[in-house]
Amino acid sequence: GIDPDTRGAIAVLSPDGSSQVFDNPFVNIMVSELTRKRLDTRSIIQLLRGLDAPPGTTAFIEKSSPFPTDGKLVGLLLSSYFCQSMETFA
């Protein structure tokens, strides 16, 4: 399962019942003179490739829902950015 937020994580459940949890890697970038955290999709892709998941493995990505004070586009921008970046993984 993937929580696509800079404070989120990636959880892996194996058929043998074991589990692993990885904090989402992020980078700091400047946006309008402010430092913002953004997902480091390259590091996420490296992490996922390193799991050696067999073909047909299912991944669940949490649907982002912004809070009313976050504006209408925040959830859309976050999920769009994450999904576009993940296309390079496929």
* pLDDT tens-place string over residues 33-63: 888 888 888 888 898 888 888 888 888 877 7
Nearest to 24 by CA among 69, 77, 86, 71: 86
Residue 62 is encoded by which pair of tokens?
């949490």
pLDDT at 37: 86
Number of separate domains in the chain: 1
pLDDT at 78: 52
Residue 67 is assigned to a structural domain of this protein: yes
What stretches of 1-90 adopt beta strand conformation (E)? 9-13, 19-23, 26-31, 34-39
Average pLDDT, the chain: 75
Residue 1 is assigned to a structural domain of this protein: no
The CA radius of gyration of the chain, in Å to the nearest whole number, is 14
Selected residue with higher pLDDT from 77 and 63 = 63
Residue 42 is encoded by which pair of tokens?
């390259």
Residue 13 is assigned to a structural domain of this protein: yes
Instruction: Write out the residue range of the structural domain in which residue 35 sits.
Output: 9-86
